[in-house]
Amino acid sequence: MILVAGSANLDFVVRANHIPQPGETVLGRDFKTFPGGKGANQAVAAARAGGIATHLLAGLGADAFATPIEASLQEAGVVLHAVRVTDQPTGTAFICVSDDAENAITVAPGANAALAPEHLPPLAGFTHLLLQLETPVASVTAYAQAARAQGVCVVLNAAPAQALPDALLAAVDILVVNEGELATVARHQGSIAECLEKIQVPTVVVTLGHHGACARVQGAWVLQPAFAVTPVDTTAAGDTFCGALVAALSQGQDMAQALQQASAAGALACTQLGAQSSIPAAADVATFMESQAPHSAQAVSQLRQFCGLPA
């Protein structure tokens, strides 16, 4: 079983020609609301990956914004451990998606900020705990330390980017970051390889957008070039990657297999609008992977070069 502890938001999404610059007003077009939040997104992604029971610990307000989030989690088969908060609204995110599929996101944490160390449910039966940073870092640290003490594999998606306390990093088995988050955690602006040398976590996975993904596992490198898709909305692509990655690892797949599954799921998520609404089912990921040609040696070589590894 997988336990995800993290945020649950209702996303307010507007499409526009481009993302506004400071002081600029942009006339948008389509507006919709979608269930989101990094914790909830990753739980849905893990559940939809198939075959793994997935639970979510999240804070929700006593308001109508919580209803579509709960419905989405139930539809995906996620078991919700809800912390009900009466003095804060359910978390919200305000997202502008441009025509070239980029996005700008502002999050109002609301009830997510109420998650406390004592809210962690019993960990018996869980193999993996997946965490992010849209909830209080003190609680994230306490959850990681409790899981480590009980032999549960701790996976941290260090997003949004921020410097991390040593106590948290010391309790993490697998760290998942993008390029910007990697530089923040490493406190270094060099190559991917140089930054990874400065992080003392057994396994670090780095998502690299259209370049693909890489992982350093106990000093050994695993490289996964990107799958080519035409993006519509990149919201939740990273969350889909994280949930699918942990689901694959919990099923006993090695890192190369897990990176491939996660990269395919994340790519497919870019082809649909919204957060949880864009997360693919296992059957869709399998069909997509069957349609893809094996990555060429040149693609792997280019990824090695991008990461700053010797040819």
pLDDT tens-place string over residues 112-146 = 999 999 999 999 999 999 999 999 999 999 999 99
Give me the pLDDT at residue 152, please: 98
> How high is the pLDDT of residue 105?
87
237 pLDDT band, cuts 50/70/90, is very high
Q: What are the angstrom distances between the C-alpha of 165 and each of 30, 61, 137, 140, 309?
A: 41, 29, 9, 11, 28
Separation CA 202–CA 168 (nearest Å): 13
pLDDT digits (tens, 9 = 90+) for 240-263: 999 999 999 999 999 999 999 999
How far CA 98 is from CA of 26, 178, 270, in Å, comes to: 11, 21, 13
Question: Tens digits of per-residue pLDDT, 139-174?
Answer: 999 999 999 999 999 999 999 999 899 999 999 999
Query: With a threshold of 0.75, does the pTM exceed it?
Result: yes
**Catalytic residue chosen out of the listed positions 99, 166, 239, 254:** 239
Q: Could you give the CA distance from residue 176 to residue 129 in angstroms, rounded to a whole number?
A: 13
For residue 295, what pLDDT is reported? Answer: 85
- Mean pLDDT score, 1-6: 98
Percent of the chain topping pLDDT 70: 100
**Which residues, other chains included, contact 281 with Cβ-Cβ below 8 Å and sequence gap of 6+?**
48, 50
pLDDT at 235: 78
- CATH architecture, domain defined by 2-307: 3-Layer(aba) Sandwich (3.40)
pLDDT at position 293: 80
Rounded CA separation 215/305 (Å): 14
Q: Active site includes 239? A: yes
Q: Under DSSP, is residue 146 helix (H, G, I), strand (E, B) or coil?
A: helix
pLDDT at 311 over 80: no
Name the band, by pLDDT with cuts 50, 70 and 90, for residue 231: confident
Domain boundaries, the chain: 2-307
Q: What is the pLDDT of residues 194-213, one digit of tens each?
A: 999 999 999 999 999 999 99
- Summarize pLDDT for 46-95 with one digit per residue, the tens: 999 988 999 999 999 999 999 999 999 999 999 999 999 999 999 999 98
